[in-house]
Chains A and B, each alone.
Chain A
Amino acid sequence: MARAAAVVGTGQTDYSARRQDVNVPELVREAVTGALEDAGITSRDVDAVVLGSAQEALEGVNQPEHWVGPAMGVHDRPVMRLQTGGTAGAAATIAAFYHVASGLFDVVLAVSYQKPSDGSDTFGMPVCGDPLWERDFSLGAAALAGLQARQYLARHEPKVGEEHGAMVVVKNRLNATMNSRAHLRHEVTLEEVMDSPPVATPVKELDCCPLSDGAAALVIAEERRAKKMTKRPAWFAGIGTSSESQYAPHTDKAYPESCVRAAQVAYQMAWIYDPVRELDLAEVHEAFSYQELIWTEVLGLCNPGEGGRMVESGITALDGEFPVNPSGGLLSANPVGASAMIRQLEAALQVMGKAGDHQVPGVQKALAHSWGGALQFSTVTIFAREL
C-alpha cells in the first residue's frame, strides 16, 4: 500500500503584478530557498523535483523545465514538469506525493511558478481554443467564467444574485489584508465591486482575479523523515483528481462533474463523510468571484444554490464556522500555474499552524481545490494534522 507522505516545509514569494528585479529562474529560486529553509534541509537532501507551470506562452519559453530546473540549486536530480493549465501547481504536488508514495523517493520538492508579466496578458488564454472553430471567438478565461456565472445564476436566481459574487470579493480581499504575501492587499466595498465595469457580464472587473508574478514550493517527505524534520507536518489524507471533456454536450459548467468526482475520491481516501463538519476550512480556486459560490456547492460544503447563503451569513468568513479562502484566494493573488499549489500550501500552513495573521484556530483538516483547462480539470487535496 502507498507510503504516507506529508508537507514538511513551504516557501513562497511575495505576489505582485510585475517582478522586474528577477527573471523566471530567480523567482523560482526564492520560493525553493524558502521551502528548504522552512524544512531545515539543504538541496542535497532532495531526491527529486516536480515542477508545475501553466501555459508556456505566458513567459514565451518552450520546455521551461530545462531552463528553470537546474536554476533551483538542486543539481543532478530527476526533474519532471506537469502542465495541466490552472491545476498545474496542484498536479505537481500530487505527482510529488506519488513520487514518495511509490517508495522510490523519500524527499521531493514540488515547485510551481508563473511570470505572466514577461508575456502578453490575455494571449496565453484564448490560444487554448481549437484553431479551426473556436479561436476566432477569442474565448478567454473571463469569457468562460461569464458563461459559467450566467448558467449558475440562471439556475438559482433569486437565491443567488450578482451581489453574492461581490460579497466573495469583499470577504477575500479583507482576508488578504492579513496575508503579507498577497498581491492585492486593500479592502474593497460591496458598492465598488457592483459598480466596477463589466468584463463578461455578469462578471465585473472586481470579480476577476489579478495576474501575478510569483512562485511557491513545498517539501514533501515520507513518514519517518517527515517526523524528523518537523513536529507538525501536514499529512496528505486525501487526493482526488478528475478530468472532463471540453466538448461533451452534457457537461455542466455550473456544476462540473469532474469536481464532484475529484472530491468523492479525496473524501473516500480521507474517510470523510460530512465535509463541512469534518473539515475545518477550504482553500478553493476562485479565479472569478462566482466560482467560490459554485465550488462550495460542488465540494459538498452546502446544497446546490446555497453558495450565496454561505457567504452572506458569514459562515465562510475568516472568523466564520467554515472559513473559505482565509488567504484571500486567487482574487488577491494569481500567479496562474502556481495558484493551485498555493491553495495546497495555504491549507497545509493552516494545518501546521503557521499561517500567521490569517491562521484559523485549531485546524485539524483542511481542503485545497483547483480547476484548470476550460473548466475541465479538478483536483482536491486534503491535509490532516494527524496521520
Chain B
Amino acid sequence: MEEVAVVGWAQTRHERVKRRDTQQSMVFDVVTRALRSCSMTIRDIDVVVDAGSDYLDGRNTSNCATVDAMGAHFKEESRVAGDGLLAAIYAYLRVASGLFSSALVVAYGKSSEGSLLDQTRAMADPFYLRPLGLDALSAGALQARAYMDHYGVAPEAPAGVAVKNRSAGAANPNAQLRRPESLADVLSSGDLVAPIRRKEACPVSDGACAVVLVDWATAQTLGVRPAWITGVGHMQDAYYPGSRELYRAVSSRRASRRACEMAGIFDPFAELDVIELTEYYAYQELMLYEALGFCGEGEGAELLDSGETAQGGRTPVNLSGGALCANPLVATGLVRLTEAAAQVSNRAGDLQVDGAEKALAHATGGFAMQSAATIVLERKRE
C-alpha cells in the first residue's frame, strides 16, 4: 500500500449567501488555490474525486456542470454522493492502490439556492418516515432528547459547546459566524426545535473546499510539509431512528476506531493533538466525545466543562469553530480535513497549536449522524 499525504488545500470564506458566486466559480477558486498551495498545476493531477449533492444543486448528476471548473476535463473523475471527507477517502484508496500518484478532492455546497430543511425532508423514505415530516433538525432534536434523557445530561450542557466553538470561530477568517456568544446568549436564544436552541444549531452556508493528495514519491518533490494519512474509516448505522441506539453515535465510534487502529492510536484523546468534528448541532459534539472514546459514556458534558477540549486545553476540539460557525454542506467534513492538515503541517497561522503532530478529521451524514467518516493525519511517518 502506497503512503499518501495531504499536501495542499483551500477553502472559501463561508457565507450565508455568496451572491457573486456560482457553484462553478467557488469550485474554480478553491481548486486553483489548493493547487497553488502545494506548487502543483492541474496537469500534475491524475484523478479528481468530487462530492456534491444533486438535491442541493437543484440539478441531476450535477458534476456534469463542474467538470471544467474542477479541471477534470479529460481526466479520471468520479463523484461520491456524500460529504467531501468520504470523497477524500475514495481519493486516498485510489492513490494508495499505487495506480495514481496524485488526486484532487473537491466538495462544494450552495445551500442558499434552495430550502435546506426541505431537502433533508426528502431524505426520508416515502413509506414510514416521510409522512412524519422528519427533517435533519427534528431528527437531531429527537436524538438530543434521547441522549439527554438516557444519561441525565443537563439541558444547559450543549450550550457550552456553542460557546466554545463560537469563541474559537471568531479567530477563523473563513468562518461565517465570527462573533463570540456568551452562555446566557445561547441559553436565551429560544428553541429551534426543542431541546435544540437557535444558537446551538449550525448556520446555512455557501462554500467550497479542495484538497490535494499525493503519494510518497510526489510528496518529496513539492517542498511543503505533508500531512500523512495514517488512518481512514467510514461506517453506516441502521436507517430508522427507532432501530438505533439513538443516544450513541455508533457509526462515528466505529469509523474512528477503524481509523485510529489503522494509525496505531489506541488512546485517541491522549495521543491526538487536534480534533476537528462535524457537529451540526451542539449536543452532537458531546456525543462524539463519548463515541470517539475521549471520555466515558454520558460524560461528554464533564469533559467539556474540564476545558480540556477548548483552546489551550489538552486536546483542542474544533479550533476552527466547527460546523457551528460555518456549514457549507457537503464541504463541511472536507473543511475539517483541511483544518486538521493545516495543524499537523504547521500551516495553521493564528490557530496553530504548538507541536501538533497527530490530528483527526470527522464527518457525519444522514439523519442524526447515521453515517460517519474519519481520517487521521500525522506530521511524520515513523
Chain A residues with a Cβ under 8 A of chain B: 1-3, 23, 54-57, 60-63, 65-67, 69-71, 75-85, 91, 94-95, 98-99, 101-104, 118, 124-125, 127-131, 240-248, 257-258, 261, 265, 372-374, 376-377
Contact = CB atoms under 8 A, between A and B. Distances in A.
Nearest to B57: A131
Contacts of A261: 74
B379 interface: no
B342 interface: no
Interface residues of B, number: 59
B94 interface: yes
B126 A374 contact: no
Given A55-B61, A241-B78, A80 B86 contact: yes
A84 B61 contact: yes
A62 B64 contact: no
Contacts of B89: 80
B101 to A, nearest CB: 12
Contacts, number: 188
A2 B72 contact: no
Nearest to A261: B74
A103 B96 CA distance: 8
A43 to B, nearest CB: 13
A172 to B, nearest CB: 25
Given A66-B365, A77-B236, A124 B82 contact: no
B81 A258 contact: no
Contacts of B111: none
B237 interface: yes
Interface of B: 1, 48, 53-55, 58-61, 63-65, 67-68, 72-82, 86, 89-90, 92-94, 96-99, 119-120, 122-127, 232-239, 254-255, 258, 365-367, 370-371
Contacts of A94: 78
B65 A63 contact: no
Nearest to A246: B64
B64 A373 contact: yes
Contacts of B127: 23
Given A62-B120, A78-B258, 20 more contacts: A1-B98, A2-B97, A23-B125, A55-B61, A61-B123, A63-B81, A65-B371, A66-B366, A82-B79, A84-B63, A84-B78, A84-B79, A104-B1, A104-B93, A125-B60, A241-B77, A242-B75, A265-B76, A373-B64, A376-B67
A57 B55 CA distance: 8
A79 B48 CA distance: 20
B94 A98 contact: yes
Nearest to B61: A85
Given A83-B54, A244-B67, A62 B119 contact: yes
23 contacts: A54-B61, A60-B126, A62-B119, A63-B82, A63-B366, A66-B367, A67-B125, A70-B239, A78-B235, A79-B371, A80-B89, A84-B61, A98-B93, A101-B93, A101-B99, A102-B1, A104-B96, A128-B59, A129-B59, A242-B76, A242-B77, A243-B76, A246-B68
Given A62-B123, A65-B81, A70 B64 contact: no
A376 B122 contact: no
Contacts of A258: 74
Contact of A85 (B64, B75, B120, B235): B64
A9 to B, nearest CB: 21
B80 to A, nearest CB: 6
B81 A95 contact: no
Contacts of A99: 93
A118 B70 CA distance: 33
Contact of A247 (B68, B99, B119, B254): B68
A309 B49 CA distance: 39
Contacts of B77: 241-243, 377
A104 B232 contact: yes
A107 to B, nearest CB: 15
A95 B77 CA distance: 11
A107 B77 CA distance: 24
Contacts of A55: 54, 60-61
B371 A128 contact: no
Nearest to A247: B68
B79 A83 contact: yes
Given A84-B61, A246-B64, A241 B76 contact: yes
Pick the most buried of B61, B73, B75: most chain A CB atoms within 10 A of its CB.
Answer: B61
Nearest to A260: B74
A124 B60 CA distance: 7
A247 B67 CA distance: 10
A102 to B, nearest CB: 4
B291 to A, nearest CB: 14
